[in-house]
Amino acid sequence: MGSLSETSTTDSYCKPPGIRFVEYIKRSPISFRTHQSIVLIVTFLAYTCYHANRKTTSVVKSTLDPASSEVGLKFQSWRRGYLPSPLEARNFSGLLGSDSGWAPFNGSDGTELLADLDVAFLSMYALGMYCSGLLGDRTNLRILLTVGMIGTGLFTSLFGVAYWANIHKFYYFLIVQMVAGLFQSTGWPSVVAVVGNWFGKSKRGLIMGIWNAHTSVGNIVGSLIASAMLSYGWGWSFVVPGLIIAFMGVVVFLFLPVSPESVGADKDDDLNPPKKVGEEVTDPLLSADSEHKEQAVGFIQAWKIPGVAPFAFCLFFAKLVAYTFLYWLPYYLSHTAIDGEYLSSETAGDLSTLFDVGGVIGGILAGHISDRLNARAITAACFMYCAIPALFLYRCYGYVSLPVNITLMFITGIFVNGPYALITTAVSADLGTHASLKGNSRALATVTAIIDGTGSIGAALGPLLTGYISTESWGAVFWMLMGAALIAGLLLTRLIVAEVAAKIEESRARRSSVPAVEV
């Protein structure tokens, strides 16, 4: 009778098909540690694919719109320098180096049209993020993520299909980008919620800082793939990443365990110690046999969680800066003379990856420092303030030489992406398991979506403004970015004061607890 009950419990779990197959081959259950490893690897690869697809547009911009010398620093023709002459002679074919570019982006308003595509994508992404968060806390995250990845792959590929179908209607590209933005919005709330379900708070900043490298790795991979495919036709720069993310969506469906409860993982594992007495919700893994069924947290209720609004608005300005670099850095590099020379589209795309390499380091540093200090707001604000002089130096001295440009770009990536990575990962997971929720884990996706969705509005605004402002002056663009970084830091002032006060109180309590030495 006991074995029958045990079988019934096991059958109630919703294990992914791939997990079942592996356990069938092993003839034994997968350990808790192995499940955690699978979660980290699968979600890392999944979001790497999301960002690889998102990055392609920025690399292809210079091919679609080979703008004249009026853009950038207004030096002489940008086609000289590193561009070999055979490429310049190619006719209207859409290939790299085409003098004519690709209609409708090769006209005098090409830069503005590309900016419109960016804002259309990111606006739908931000709108979809709020919906995906609410949906994620009410549905199976594995299915939601799978649908999002396959849909993203389809519509990214459709953008590239225009190359072979000879499509030149702006509204075709606009609609494709908007739908792609909706599908992409399913990614972030889903992966953060899944990782938050499997990992406690004590080392969450470091773990998620390392894990969040997928953002920069995805940008790097996307840049390299898009740059490599340009020589075969810009359409391949979209189709190849689209096929990769669709394939990875199938992998997610087969192998991603959403939570320990969903697969019957043993939460008494010695690698998952219980939380300390009096500690805030450090372990979001709730008991499977709880007395009541958890209710998903509402949208307004999630906004009222202490810290959600300040971090959400801080991320608005942080992502404005980060996404301006994401979408416009390759274009800026190819239209700005470095040591008197102009880079080709491929070289600019490859070089821009060093900003993301700095972002990987920044994300890990921000996560580790915030864990050690137990001060997320102080860490995020300090990084944002340091980003201001980094942006200033990059703009003023990045043109001196390639090594100087690379060094300053790397440093800028550290300070720009560090707080962005921290807020969208560890901070979101912390707030999604806040003490005010009384252990309810059904808020992770909603809180993550609110914070990142608000940030994504800034991410849409930055590239849009850059598309218009850059036609007049790149210097004005950098002043806009420095102002945004300053505001992002200032928005955390109240939380910084609270963290400092908590540190002082903690220090006093520690001193008072030390027994006096009798003479």
What is the model's pLDDT at position 14? 76
Q: 310 and 231, same structural domain?
A: no
- What is the rounded CA–CA span in Å between residue 448 and residue 373? 23
Q: 118 and 232, same structural domain?
A: yes
> Is residue 267 assigned to a domain?
no
- What is the rounded CA–CA span in Å between residue 343 and residue 383? 30
> Is residue 264 assigned to a domain?
no
What is the model's pLDDT at position 79? 31
Instruction: Tell me the pLDDT band of 152, cut-offs 50, 70 and 90.
Output: very high
Name the residue with higher pLDDT: 277 or 211.
211
Q: 371 and 460, same structural domain?
A: yes
For 51, phi then psi, to 5°, come to -75, -30
Across the range 188-198, mean pLDDT stands at 85
Name the residue with higher pLDDT: 9 or 116.
116
Q: What token pair was written down for 107?
A: 């006209």
In the chain, the number of structural domains is 2
Angstrom distances, CA of residue 426 to CA of 358, 366, 368, 389:
19, 10, 11, 26
Instruction: Tell me the pLDDT band of 71, cut-offs 50, 70 and 90.
Output: very low
What is the model's pLDDT at position 72? 36
What is the model's pLDDT at position 266? 61
Q: 202 and 308, same structural domain?
A: no
What is the model's pLDDT at position 39? 93
> Is residue 361 assigned to a domain?
yes
- Please say whether the beta carbons of 376 and 205 come within 8 A: yes
Q: 314 and 236, same structural domain?
A: no
Residues contacting residue 408 through CB under 8 Å, at least 6 positions apart: 390, 393, 394, 397, 398
Task: Determine the straight-line distance between the first and last CA of the chain, rounded to whole angstroms.
Answer: 68
> Is residue 98 assigned to a domain?
no
**3 state SS of 340:** coil
Q: 332 and 246, same structural domain?
A: no
Per-residue pLDDT of 108-147, as tens digits, reads 778 788 888 888 898 898 888 888 877 877 788 899 999 9
Q: 457 and 319, same structural domain?
A: yes
Domain stop point among 211, 230, 259: 259
> Which secondary structure element, helix H or strand E, spans residue 474, and what is its range?
helix 474-490
Q: 318 and 246, same structural domain?
A: no
> Is residue 80 assigned to a domain?
no
Q: What token pair was written down for 113?
A: 């049209």
Domain stop point among 212, 233, 259: 259
Instruction: Tell me the pLDDT band of 344, cut-offs 50, 70 and 90.
Output: confident
Instruction: Calculate what percentage of the chain has a pLDDT beyond 90.
Output: 31
Instruction: Calculate what percentage of the chain has a pLDDT beyond 70.
Output: 79
Q: What token pair was written down for 509?
A: 């309590």
Domain stop point among 201, 232, 259: 259
Instruction: Write the single-letter amino acid at 330.
Output: P
Q: 321 and 187, same structural domain?
A: no
> Is residue 185 assigned to a domain?
yes
Domain extent, residue 35, equals: 13-69+103-259
**3 state SS of 505:** helix
Q: 31 and 175, same structural domain?
A: yes
> Is residue 446 assigned to a domain?
yes
Across the range 146-159, mean pLDDT stands at 96
Q: 304 and 215, same structural domain?
A: no
What is the model's pLDDT at position 75? 30
Please state which of the ranges 172-176, 227-231, 316-320, 463-467 shows the lowest mean pLDDT.
463-467
Q: 160 and 24, same structural domain?
A: yes
Q: What token pair was written down for 425?
A: 């990962």
Query: Which range is most confident: 3-7, 197-201, 493-497?
Result: 493-497
Average pLDDT, the chain: 79
> Is residue 274 assigned to a domain?
no
What is the model's pLDDT at position 93? 38
What is the model's pLDDT at position 69? 33
Per-residue pLDDT of 37-64, as tens digits, reads 999 999 999 999 999 998 888 888 888 8
Residue 151 belongs to a domain with what CATH number? Answer: 1.20.1250.20
Name the residue with higher pLDDT: 418 or 178.
178
Instruction: Tell me the pLDDT band of 271, cut-offs 50, 70 and 90.
Output: very low
Above 90 in pLDDT, residue 422?
Answer: no
Across the range 234-257, mean pLDDT stands at 95
